[in-house]
């Protein structure tokens, strides 16, 4: 697996603010957020500040 490419994809997919698809909470937020949480619990991925910020913002909206 090309971890650099995976990290770049996560950074690209992760919105700067709001939810994954914009306006409303969607399945994409559940799946993408769940993947990030799971991978961070097992230390498979260390979140960048942008990703960490999105994870918490998406839970507050």
pLDDT at 56: 60
pLDDT at 14: 83
HEC assignment per residue over the chain: CCHHHHHHHHHHHCCCCCECCECCCCHHHHHHHHHHHHHHHCCCCCCCHHHHHHHHHHHHC
How would you write the pLDDT of the chain (61 residues) with one tens digit per residue? Answer: 688 898 898 888 887 777 777 778 888 888 888 888 888 889 888 888 888 877 665 555 5
pLDDT at 15: 79
> What's the pTM?
0.64
pLDDT at 59: 55
């Amino acid at each position: 697996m090309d971890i650099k490419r995976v990290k770049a994809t996560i950074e690209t997919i992760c919105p700067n603010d709001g939810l994954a698809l914009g306006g409303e909470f969607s399945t994409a937020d559940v799946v993408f957020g769940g993947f990030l949480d799971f991978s961070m619990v097992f230390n498979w991925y260390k979140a960048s500040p942008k990703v960490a910020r999105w994870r918490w913002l998406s839970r507050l909206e």
